[in-house]
Structure formats: structure tokens, C-alpha cells
Structure 1
């Protein structure tokens, strides 16, 4: 192992005659390639997924050719990340031990659009564009006048939205000659996405998975291993950061903050290794905007404009991917939807956290980012939505929230799984625990519409399927699930340890 410090030497340190069925399918599934003639049946893509068509006279919904950068349109620019030792704005060379040059440029970019490389689009074609589906059966079940649409990202090879950023991150690393990448993962969706991308571009992949999810979700670990990744439970004995945590608490359930510390430590110590992050950072949110860019066109094809946009938030990549292009349209006065983030009641960084500079990891190895945080050493209870167990929120989402362009609520996990069961038994898809928060908030709003008679158009994000989260459903169905919450004393203790940085 070659020693390589994270910080530079000069520094102190993501209608056929047959029936009307196919016409209804066409109306429901928007966003797939139109054929020259109306399809008589569903056809399979090279990824083995059913792709329906738009009507013959409709405009094709194409894969976006550019990522959208919300920073370019914000009237007030977000605060910069700071060096963890000097508290001065971070320099590109400080990040070079962790990230390839192109991703560092994207992280600090103020350009409105950034071209997507052709090689990345070629991989996106395996599953993009993803469908926008009207949840008519859920509407009927709820007896609501609201019209509910969901953007379904579970059709990707990894089963979630995460490959939207995993693929470009790995491609940029491979282009610069990097041999290995390391990362953390909570529920395993991000780890699976990165392992998948590394298998395409022949890079080594090592993943630290939060212990609570490592134990709850063995099949996600097996997915990563199938694609060639090496997977450790976090905290682990492999790194100094992990050993320190285990010494304090041998039964630690882990957290994303701890797993980030472990992955960053390994990246900083090896010259041929870089770090990849599945959420939080600007370039990750940038890559995810393919979701919202497609969705704008798909809503237009439906002849609809959303009144309310709802997404779950942990680090924020899926929420940003859907909402940022719509926020652009809102800033330019073309639409005026309410945009609502939904987080777990057990880890409520937006609704209960402090807006302050804090480390992105537990050990304090990362730059300081101004974000809504519960404190970098806050370890959430082991809720089943492992991907949302992060102490902070993406700095850009935090800034947008502070500027008043969105709102946030927190929902406990039993209500989320109640909503997931309603969704599964009406729409047929079993959601991952993370988007059940958005589903629960959507159901709340749809029931309000039933009371008021408002026919609101609600757009939500179903960022992944729950096929490997069935033990969580088993626990709920057997009546053994409990609502975990945070301790005010625990949060205050954690917030007391935030670095004292002048605003």
C-alpha cells in the first residue's frame, strides 16, 4: 500500500383490434422509443425490459444529451466547501487525491449545461429513458380526484437511479487511468450501481456497506460481489477509522458517515485508487438531472403540469435529479409547483438539523460543507431505509431549501410501509424502503384532495424497487416493525461537536 495523503503536500491536510389494453399501456408508459407503427404488443429492448411506444404522431422522448446545473440559475450562489484544517475555500488540487480532474471541474462548475459523453449515453441506453407512469389504480384505491404520476427508476440494471451517476463517475476515472475505485453504501443501491459500472469499464471496486444494511440486505451484497466488487461491513477492521469506532462501540450499526470515512481513508492511501460518492456532492446531483429533464418532456406529452413534486431525501441525489430541472422552470416563471422533500423521522436533517458547516464523514476527513446536518458523529437508528441514514443533506439542496424554493417534512417508517403496501397492491410494484417516504407523502396529499375536491397533479419519484428489501416488508407484515425516532439529547450532543466556522 502506497501512502498518499488526502490533502496536498502544501496543505496541513450520482388500437389494435386485439383490445384496448395496449392503448392503455401506451397512455400509461411514457418515455420509450416510438416505433414507426403502433405496437401490437410490448417489445423487449436489448436490456430485456418491456418498452412501450408513444402514439405514432407523438414526439419521441429522447435520452438527454446534457446534464443540467442548477447553480447557473440560482439568484444567490451556494457557499463554497472549506478545507477541513484551514477553513479556507477548497482548491482543486486538494481534491485531486480523491477525484479525477473532470469531476472536480464539474463539482465547481457554474455552466448551465454540461455535455454527456457519448460513451456514457451508450450505457444509459440500456435503461433510459425511464417510464413516467400515471398511478390510476392508486388514485382509485384512494378515491381521490388528484392525478398521480411517478417516475420509475427501478428499471436500471441495478434497480435504482444510482447508475445515472455511477456510470459517468467510473467512465471519467477509467479515462484518467485509475485502476480502482472505493465507496460507501447504505442500503446497497449505490454500491450495486458502482459495481455494475466498474464491471463495464474494467475497474476494481471496493465497497464499505453500513453494518445495519449489510446484515439486513445480504442479496445487495451478493449483487455487488456478482459484478466483481469486494464488500466490507462498516465499521470494519480494515481501516483506522473503522477500528476507532469499533473500539468505542463493538456493536455499532454503522452509518453512512462512518462508511465514507473508511472509503476516503483507503482512497487517500493509494495512488491508483479514487473515491466515488453516490449522493451529496454537486457533480452527483448534476448527473441525476437526466431524470427531471426526461420527466419535463414526458409531462408535456401527457399534457400535464405538476402542482406538487415529491421526493425522498437522504443525501438528496434522487430528489435533486427529479426536482432541479423543474426548479429551473419555476425560477423562469414557466410553472409554479410546490416542491417537497420527505425524510425519515429517525434521521431528519432538513427538518431538525442545523444549517452549518460540517464534515461529510464521521472521522472528519472530508471538506467542510455548509448543509443541514445532525452532526457528523450522529449515528441514526437502524431504520430499514438504509439509504436515508445520513447525518447531512446535500449542500446544494440545503441551499435551495434555505432560499425558499422547496419545503420538507419527515415521516415515520410504519406510515411509509403502510403506503408501500397500498402502492404495491394497486400499482403492482414493490418500492424500496427509501421511496416509500415519497409514496406516503403522496398518499397524504391525495387524501387531502379527496377532502377538498382539488384535482391536483402530483408528481413523485419511485427511485428503486424493493425486491431485495423483502425482510423489511416481512417485519412490517408480521407486525414487528416499530417507529424509530431520534433523541433530542443525542442530536444536541452531536451538534455540539460541529466545527465552529464563521458563516
Structure 2
């Protein structure tokens, strides 16, 4: 293919059906939601309704090492699932981090360095984001510190090795190094909110250090728009059309990256937008079984409360291979679009996700990350019998957000028939969200799974 690397990111903020609800401070309404260490360019990218943002030359130079990324029609996968329509795959695993996360990590490292920051600290679940941040810091000459969810680091020790190879310092979370980790309850060794909370606390108590996040923030989803922009050009080059775009959702960055440019293009031209389908883990089903409410984004609760679909930041996510999809809430821009009906969602079990990953491995010679397996499983349903009342009629585009070479322990469990699924009970969800404030003036009681 001759598709060129995009030189601008594309924002969907000008094309939302309704403005996103403002953030709240924990004490009162009216908070700005802007962190004190956040570079102003990232703040602007989060709030201004500007459609195109030029990618800095230094970031473009780094992108050229691995972008544009490949897209192809997955005919082997189609035959294996008995697809009625074409299935196209956009593959983001061909870089040092092994995932799409590097798209925003490079941009953030660039902006933080320009702002005078010397060290970036972050929390990571499955390790893709931590690896991407370690790689970006190495390229831009910053120190890097990562708090990684204990259960993931235990299962994926080579993620930690790779981050250390890139110069990062790694801590298993709960680490015992922070006050918030000392307040943990039993079973919180699988909490991404805690790992993020530890990173937040560390950053606020050390000079020259800033906290950064890779998935849920509006600016990080903006940086991921290169995925969808490239996909549109690649589909046009193939003279192909799709009516469905699918991505996995932890907080929302790879899904937003591939899907939202299609929404913006349709709104800009007056065309009918494709069906945008977020595939989430059934162990953390915020978009399918959560509530639209104000919740905290990490275990410290010190930052602004954001309007999100959530199963509750204190809900104990089961110790399972939900991989990087174990975050309790969806990004506020993804949540806002879910609330207005501009995107749909479906939940996928671990068994379904890893089975889909096995099919892709056998029939396309690509080993996907377990996160991507959720998107693949959803795409397979949409291209065949349908899922949750949705079915593709012309074609499906799915984001394979990363490779699974450091996730082989999950696939070993699949092969050994040792997988288990722990979907939350209705009572557990109600309990976890009972103290949250619903979004909207005069909002009524919280309804689990409730939306427009």
C-alpha cells in the first residue's frame, strides 16, 4: 500500500452530539479537571473544539519507525468463522511496545519534556502502556517509573524485563512504597486504579516528576486517531467499504483511535456513520452493565471526578485474564458517545477472546494480545450471526491493538483448559456504584446498565 503517514491528529470534539459533561472536584461542582503537571498543549487538546492538530516533527520522526501500520482483508479468518461479509484488520503490534500505546506515549513524552519534566511515572495493567512509556522516555531522554498491577507482573515477568531494558524502574502494585498502597483491601493486587493511584501519589511527592496516563484521557485518544485516519485511506485504496468498526475497550484509546475518525468524517460530510462497537471484558463490563455517573479515575481520589460509564472504582476486578481491559470506567469521550447512542458496546468472555485469538493465529499467522481477542470475538459475531442485536451488512474493520508474544501464559491456560470467567453479580455492581452521583441535572437513581 502507498498510504502516507498522517501529519495531523483529528479530534472528534467538534462533532459530538452533546458537549461532554464538565469534571467535578471531589468537594464541589465546577472543577476544571486539569492536573497541575499537565502540559498546556495537552490541556488544549482536551478541551478545544479544534478538528486538526499538527503532529510535532519530532513525534513524526519517531512514528516513521513503525507507521503507517498494515491493514489487510483477513480472508483466512473469514473462512474460519464463516463470515457473511469481509473482515479487515488494522494491526498495531509492530513496534517495541507491541501495541498501539506507543502512539500517545511518544506524543506525551515530547510535550512533557518541552514542559521541563525530568521523570514520568505511570500505572499499567497488562504492561503495554508501561512498555510504551518506557520506550518513549528512552527516546526523549526522560527517566521512567512504572507501577504495574501485581497479578499481571507475576504472569508476565518479561514485560518487566523489557521495561527495565528500556531503562525504566518497575514496582509491583501494591508496592508498599506509597500511602495509598498501604490502605488496600484484600484482592486489590489486580487493580489498575490502585497502580494508577500509586503513580499519582509518587508524582505529587517528588520534584521534577509528572504523572502520565495512556488510555482514558481525551488527548491520548486524539493521538490514537492516526489509526483511524490511516485505516480510512487504506480502505479507499482497496476500494473497500465497511459499515462496522470494532475495537477493544479498557478505557478506550485503541477503540477511540480507530473508530472516532470515522464518526468525525461522517459528521463532517453528512454521511451515514458506520456502527461503532466497543468490545469489553465481561469481568469489567462498564459500557454494558455499568452506570453513567461521576467517579474517580484512581485509588487516591485526589483528582477530578469524571463523567463515565463505570462499575465503580472500588469494585474488586477479578484476578483474570481481562488483561489491559480491567479498568473500572470508560473514557469520558467514549462514555459521552455511548450515552448519546453514537456508539454501541458488547461484552466478551475470556474464553471467547482467547478462542478468537487462537483462530487469528492459525488462519492469519498473527498472535494477538488478549485485549485484541475481545475485539476479534466481537467482530466474528458481527460478521456472522450478530451480537446484541447488531450485525454487519457490508463489512467489518477491527483493530488488532497489539501482539500477544508476552501474553503466552494466557494462551497456555486456554490450551490447558484452565480458563475461568467471573462476571460480576448484579448485587455486587449495585453495591460498588451506590455512592456515585448520576450525570445530569436532576438525574434520578442510578440504573445498572441504564443509558439512552
**Residues 83 and 380, structure 2, Cα contact 8 Å, conserved in 1:** no
**Residues 26 and 301, structure 2, Cα contact 8 Å, conserved in 1:** yes
- How do residues 64-75 of structure 1 correspond to structure 2 at under 5 angstroms? 64-75=6-17
Which residue of structure 1 aligns with residue 288 of structure 2? Answer: 351
Query: What is the distance in 2 between the residues matched to 1:501 and 1:436?
Result: 32
Which residue of structure 1 aligns with residue 271 of structure 2? Answer: 334
1:473 to 405, 411, 428: 411
**Residues 127 and 157, structure 1, Cα contact 8 Å, conserved in 2:** no
Query: What is the distance in 2 between the residues matched to 1:137 and 1:455?
Result: 19
Which segment drifts farther, 480-489 or 123-132? Answer: 480-489
**Residues 66 and 114, structure 1, Cα contact 8 Å, conserved in 2:** yes
**Residues 307 and 456, structure 1, Cα contact 8 Å, conserved in 2:** yes
Q: Does 2:250 correspond to 1:314?
A: yes
- How do residues 90-489 of structure 1 correspond to structure 2 at under 5 angstroms? 90=32, 92=34, 95-96=35-36, 98-245=37-184, 248-249=185-186, 251-331=187-267, 332-448=269-385, 456-489=394-427
Once the two structures are TM-superposed, the CA of residue 501 in structure 1 deviates from its matched residue by 7.4
Query: What is the distance in 1 between the residues matched to 2:39 and 2:220?
Result: 13
Which residue of structure 2 aligns with residue 39 of structure 1? Answer: none
1:348-384 C-alpha deviation (Å, 9 max, x unpaired): 0001111011111122122110010111111211221
Query: What is the distance in 1 between the residues matched to 2:188 and 2:277?
Result: 32
Query: What is the distance in 1 between the residues matched to 2:65 and 2:440?
Result: 47
Which residue of structure 2 aligns with residue 24 of structure 1? Answer: none
**Residues 244 and 392, structure 2, Cα contact 8 Å, conserved in 1:** no
Once the two structures are TM-superposed, the CA of residue 486 in structure 1 deviates from its matched residue by 1.1
1:87-127 C-alpha deviation (Å, 9 max, x unpaired): 323165xx22x322221222222211111100000000010
Once the two structures are TM-superposed, the CA of residue 489 in structure 1 deviates from its matched residue by 2.3
Once the two structures are TM-superposed, the CA of residue 326 in structure 1 deviates from its matched residue by 0.3
Q: Secondary structure at the match of 1:253?
A: helix
- How do residues 7-22 of structure 1 correspond to structure 2 at under 5 angstroms? none
Query: What is the distance in 1 between the residues matched to 2:230 and 2:439?
Result: 40
**Residues 131 and 152, structure 1, Cα contact 8 Å, conserved in 2:** yes
Following superposition, which runs of at least 4 residues in structure 1 exceed 3 angstroms of deviation? Answer: 499-503
**1:254–1:480 distance in 2 versus 1, CA, 3 Å:** closer
Could you say what the CA RMSD is over the residues aligned between the two structures, in angstroms?
1.8
1:305-346 C-alpha deviation (Å, 9 max, x unpaired): 211111111100000000010011232333431111110111
Q: Secondary structure at the match of 1:448?
A: coil
Gaps of 5+ in 1: 1-53, 55-59
Q: Secondary structure at the match of 2:355?
A: helix
Query: What is the distance in 1 between the residues matched to 2:404 and 2:440?
Result: 43
Which residue of structure 1 aligns with residue 449 of structure 2? Answer: none
**Residues 314 and 390, structure 1, Cα contact 8 Å, conserved in 2:** yes
Which residue of structure 1 aligns with residue 30 of structure 2? Answer: 88
Once the two structures are TM-superposed, the CA of residue 74 in structure 1 deviates from its matched residue by 1.8
Query: What is the distance in 2 between the residues matched to 1:492 and 1:292?
Result: 36
Structure of larger gyration radius: 1
Once the two structures are TM-superposed, the CA of residue 199 in structure 1 deviates from its matched residue by 0.4
TM-score, structure 2 as length reference: 0.93
Query: What is the distance in 2 between the residues matched to 1:500 and 1:134?
Result: 42
TM-score, structure 1 as length reference: 0.84
1:406-453 C-alpha deviation (Å, 9 max, x unpaired): 11110111111111111110001111000101111111122228xxx9
Query: What is the distance in 2 between the residues matched to 1:437 and 1:391?
Result: 17
1:188-215 C-alpha deviation (Å, 9 max, x unpaired): 0000000000001111101110111111
**1:338–1:498 distance in 2 versus 1, CA, 3 Å:** same
Once the two structures are TM-superposed, the CA of residue 273 in structure 1 deviates from its matched residue by 0.6
Give the number of aligned pairs: 437
